Amino acid sequence: MLSKRQLDKLRADIRFTAELGGRSLMIHSTWGLFSPRGIDEGTRLLIEHLEVRPADDCLDLGCGYGPIGLALAILAPEGRTLMVDKDFVAVRYSNRNAEHNAIRNARARLSNGFDQIDPDLRFDLIASNLPAKVGKEMISLYLHDARDRLRPGGRLYLVAINGLRQYLKRNLIEVFGNYEKLKQGARYTVALARLEDAYDFQDAG
């Protein structure tokens, strides 16, 4: 049986430093969140391959404790970054991490995918570390909803386990009409799709 001291230690925040968007940040996390003791391999790979403009309005879909969203906010200081997650603990830690690191152009809110995001909001860039366990049905909703919420010329960056690579390729081509593999690592693939200005999605079925 664990002692009170051991239990108190487990309840305390996990803290570590991470370089995100070219800045060294102090990150707070807790047990129960994804990769609580450090930035996971897939997230790092995704962040390395993001191309972010200073004024981009960004969305981190499924933010966890916020590493992707914090990096986006740092790289786009003239834009606004929204971080969403269906886990209220993740949202709380994302907001705390933004506050503790004085990142004022990022905020987090509770949302299962896009369902609680203002339908009038549009983004220049959406990024997500897609967990395979959410299922292909939810991934399909993510892709279609992301298409509808991007501005013309907007970009969707995804990282997923290699086992989903061909599925993502097929579905990104179906939904966006294009697909680019930016990096395939030992375990993860980073993919990019663009909302082409001239593509008429209303007629795409």
Contact present, 83 and 51 (Cβ < 8 Å): no
- Partnered with residue 41 across adjacent β-strands are none
- Rounded to whole angstroms, how far apart are CA atoms 157 and 49? 9
Contact present, 147 and 64 (Cβ < 8 Å): no
Q: How far is CA 43 from its chain centroid?
A: 8
> pLDDT tens across 174-186, in order?
999 999 999 999 9
- The reported pLDDT for the residue numbered 8 is 86
Q: What is the mean pLDDT of residues 128-145?
A: 89
> pLDDT tens across 40-94, in order?
999 999 999 999 999 999 999 999 999 999 999 999 999 999 999 999 999 999 9
Element (H, E) at 123: strand 123-129
DSSP 13: P
- The reported pLDDT for the residue numbered 153 is 96
The rounded percent of the chain whose pLDDT value lies above 70 is 96
Neighbours of 112 (CB within 10 A): 14
**CB pairs under 8 A, 24+ apart, for 36-42?**
36/65, 39/67, 40/129, 41/185, 41/187, 41/188, 42/129, 42/159, 42/160, 42/161, 42/187, 42/188
- The reported pLDDT for the residue numbered 196 is 86
> pLDDT tens across 94-133, in order?
999 999 999 999 999 999 999 999 999 999 999 999 887 8
| Average pLDDT in the chain | 93
Confidence of residue 199 (pLDDT cuts 50, 70, 90): very low
- The reported pLDDT for the residue numbered 197 is 62
Given a cut of 60, is residue 198 above it in pLDDT? Answer: no
- The reported pLDDT for the residue numbered 135 is 83
Buried b (16+ CB within 10 A) or exposed e, 76-96: beebbbbbbbebeebbbbbbb
> pLDDT tens across 147-168, in order?
999 999 999 999 999 999 999 9
Q: What is the mean pLDDT of residues 186-192?
A: 96
Q: Compare 134 and 68 and report the one with higher pLDDT.
A: 68
Check if CATH label 1.50.10.10 holds for domain 46-196.
no
- Rounded to whole angstroms, how far apart are CA atoms 39 and 111? 22
